[in-house]
Amino acid sequence: MSLFHDVALQRLFGGLIVLLIVATVAGRLIARRAGDERALTTVRNLNARINAWWVMSVIFAISVLIGPIGAVILFGLISFLALREFITLAPTRPADHRALLWSFFLITPLQYLLVGIHWYGLFSILIPVYAFLFLALRIAISGDTTHFLERVSAIQWALMICVYSLSYAPALLGLGIRGHGTPGPTLLLFLVIVVQGSDVLQYIFGKLFGRRKIAPHLSPNKTVEGFLGGVAAATLLGALLWWATPFTIWQAGLQALIIALTGFAGGLVMSAVKRDRGVKDFGTIIAGHGGILDRADSLTFAAPIFFHVTRFFYGA
């Protein structure tokens, strides 16, 4: 059966298109009402974000509809670009060059190859066992021990966040669920819609009702009101998508709550990385959003946790 004829997928993508149209119209209406220069800047950024959402949604939809290989390649590319942004900020030295070549051109593709062939036993340990130990050895052999520990840790952490964690999103395509076979794309869509929806909803609630800063040192734009409103709304959104998943409505809501909370945690941690390195964004590749990692930060925490929670409680 072609994925184009999957009713759940049709509805999810249909809903996404409706949402984007509503957002685009709302963005244009708000733009007309913007009064002063500061409001105008915010609205411009808002509309740039909405436009980027169209592009990202189309790319995501196409790659999911191509079939499992499409999603694996898409997330592989996202990981590659995310790793690029992360390593750019990492305190590496010329002696790490070979270790970095291995990371970009062997470990990253290999991780996604293992995910693509659903070899759970190996893709779940390739980076934290083999790659971590190998990279430490490779950098030791280079002979430059200045800040050895910092350099090794930074490269390991970059692979952990950008490659290992993100690869759990397409890994959902191979996850068997008791009594449901391999639901595949709908699990991936559920994760991505809830985690990105949670980001957007936190942004909207924050802009509308935000007063008290929740983490002033890490992320000055995040507010208590945005966090509570966004997480609650994302939980509701997830619950309402239960029909597309193997979960009951309550289970879907609880899963969405876990996704929203871990996603928020991912955003906080990645903000700490940016503060440490003295940058505002990881990159400039997505207009209005920043870098790939600025958009995928919540997914880096939510994807592996969602995978393992689902596997533990529902796995076949």
Partner 1 sequence: MIASLLATAAQIVAGSTVRWAGCGPTDEQRIYIANHSSHLDFIVLWSYLPPWLRRRTRPVAARDYWTRDGIRRYLAAHVFNAVLIDRVAAAGTPSGQLGRQAVDQMVEALAGQHSLILFPEGTRGAGEDLASFRSGLFHLCQARPEVEVVPVYLDNLNRILPKGHLLPVPMLSRITFGTPLRLQPGETKDAFLERARQSVRALKEAA
Q: How far apart are CA 107 and CA 219, in angstroms?
A: 32
**Is residue 104 part of the contact set for partner 1 (CB under 8 A)?**
yes
Among positions 16, 72, 87, 273, the unique one binding partner 1 when judged by CB under 8 A: 87
Among positions 72, 85, 172, 263, the unique one binding partner 1 when judged by CB under 8 A: 85
Nearer CB in complex with partner 1: 179/278? 278
Least distance CB 81 / partner 1 (angstroms): 9
Nearer CB in complex with partner 1: 87/260? 87
Nearer CB in complex with partner 1: 127/293? 293
**Is residue 101 part of the contact set for partner 1 (CB under 8 A)?**
yes
Q: Segment near partner 1 (CB under 8 A), from 93-101, 216-224, 228-236, 246-254?
A: 93-101
Nearer CB in complex with partner 1: 104/148? 104
Among positions 88, 142, 153, 182, the unique one binding partner 1 when judged by CB under 8 A: 88
Q: How far apart are CA 285 and CA 290, in angstroms?
A: 6
Q: Segment near partner 1 (CB under 8 A), from 63-71, 97-105, 109-117, 308-316?
A: 97-105
Q: Segment near partner 1 (CB under 8 A), from 17-25, 56-64, 90-98, 264-272?
A: 90-98
CA torsion, ordered 13, 19, 21, 23, to nearest 10 deg: -150
**Is residue 94 part of the contact set for partner 1 (CB under 8 A)?**
yes
Q: Residue 66, Cα to own-chain centre: how many angstroms?
A: 20
Binding mask 280-309 for partner 1 (x = CB under 8 A): ---xx-------------------------
CA distances from 261 to 246, 254, 256, 267, 281 (A): 21, 11, 9, 10, 22
**Is residue 100 part of the contact set for partner 1 (CB under 8 A)?**
yes
- 34 CB neighbour count, 10 Å cutoff: 15
**Is residue 197 part of the contact set for partner 1 (CB under 8 A)?**
no
**Is residue 92 part of the contact set for partner 1 (CB under 8 A)?**
yes
Which two structure tokens, joined as six digits, stand for 203?
């942004």
**Is residue 147 part of the contact set for partner 1 (CB under 8 A)?**
no
Q: How far apart are CA 218 and CA 222, in angstroms?
A: 9
Give the footprint of partner 1 on residues 247-286 (CB under 8 A). 283-284
Give the footprint of partner 1 on residues 1-60 (CB under 8 A). none
Least distance CB 192 / partner 1 (angstroms): 25
Q: How far apart are CA 210 and CA 261, in angstroms?
A: 18
What residues make contact with partner 1 under the rule CB under 8 A? Answer: 84-85, 87-88, 92, 94, 97, 100-101, 104-105, 283-284
